[in-house]
């Protein structure tokens, strides 16, 4: 029997094609027509694997979540602060490569397996370290807010590189703002690390107060 000329359609191929479209053109670029054309198949054949566009985007989002390292939350590791620090960087690195999918991830894990494993790992590690369940839930939430927000866009690139755009008469403290884009990595990475340290410092104070009451 002759081999098929084209690779068989699969969920993995659909997710890969959809992810490429999202990365290149954004969420609105994903449609049955565009995906079918990219995969060289008929539109209806996609429905053998996904019922809706939202299901496809959920799968793309979960593929990104699956890239996040969770090994730092393995049972028996007592350093909750170090684990959160390492996880935050791994999570942000995964999102920074695919910022257009962040709005889908921001809706929460829903039923997505990798997203649920991520939430389970963080919550489990915090409660094992001695955080009360309610506070462990809040820690997971605030870390996600911070990480997802940092990955959605560049602060530095939010300013144009035209020094005439920021008239000192109107913006007396933005005389150097046109230089920010030139130093994007330094500004954005420094801001993330500064914010992460502040969050973890604050949590450490709460943790010490919690331990003192035990």
pLDDT band with cut points at 50, 70 and 90 for residue 6: low
**pLDDT for the residue 41:** 86
- Report the distance separating Cα 72 and Cα 53, nearest Å: 34
**pLDDT for the residue 200:** 97
Closest listed residue to residue 91, CA positions, set 36, 159, 48, 149: 149
Residue 1 has pLDDT above 60, yes or no: no
- Report the distance separating Cα 143 and Cα 200, nearest Å: 10
Closest listed residue to residue 70, CA positions, set 143, 138, 20, 122: 122
Residue 15 has pLDDT above 80, yes or no: yes
- Report the distance separating Cα 117 and Cα 127, nearest Å: 15
User: pLDDT per residue over 35-81, tens digit each?
Assistant: 888 888 887 788 889 889 999 999 999 999 999 999 999 877 779 99
How far is the first Cα of the chain from the last one, in angstroms, to the nearest whole number?
72
- Report the distance separating Cα 69 and Cα 95, nearest Å: 12
**Three-state SS annotation for the chain:** CCCCCCCCCCHHHHHHHHHHHHHHHCHHHCCHHHHHHHHCCCHHHHHHCCCCHHHHHHHHHHHHHCCCCCHHHCCCCCCHHHHHHHHHHHHHHHHHCCHHHHHHHCCCCCCCHHHHHHHHHHHHHHHHCCCCHHHHHHHHHHHHHHHHHHHHCCCHHHCCCCHHHCCCCCCCCCCCHHHCHHHHHHHHHHHHHHHHHHHHHHHHHHHHHHHHCC
What is this structure's pTM? 0.87
User: pLDDT per residue over 168-190, tens digit each?
Assistant: 999 999 999 999 999 999 999 99
User: pLDDT per residue over 113-164, tens digit each?
Assistant: 999 999 999 999 999 999 999 999 999 999 999 999 999 888 999 999 998 9
């Amino acid at each position: 029997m002759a081999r098929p000329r084209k690779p068989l359609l699969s969920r993995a191929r659909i997710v890969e094609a959809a992810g490429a479209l999202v990365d290149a053109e954004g969420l609105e670029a994903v449609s049955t027509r565009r995906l079918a054309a990219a995969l060289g198949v008929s539109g209806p054949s996609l429905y053998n694997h996904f019922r809706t566009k939202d299901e496809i985007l959920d799968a793309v989002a979960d593929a990104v979540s699956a890239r996040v390292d969770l090994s730092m939350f393995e049972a028996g590791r007592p350093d909750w602060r170090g684990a959160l620090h390492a996880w935050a960087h791994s999570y942000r690195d995964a999102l920074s490569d695919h910022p257009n999918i962040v709005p889908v991830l921001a809706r929460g894990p829903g039923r997505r397996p990798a997203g649920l494993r991520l939430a389970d790992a963080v919550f489990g590690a915090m409660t094992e370290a001695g955080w009360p369940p309610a506070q462990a839930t809040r820690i997971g939430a605030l870390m996600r807010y911070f990480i997802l927000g940092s990955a959605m866009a560049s602060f530095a690139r939010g300013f144009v590189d035209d020094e005439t755009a920021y008239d000192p008469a109107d913006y007396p403290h933005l005389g150097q703002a046109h230089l920010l884009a030139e130093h994007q990595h330094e500004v954005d990475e420094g801001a993330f690390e500064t914010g992460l340290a502040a969050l973890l410092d604050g949590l450490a104070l709460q943790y010490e107060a919690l331990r003192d009451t035990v």
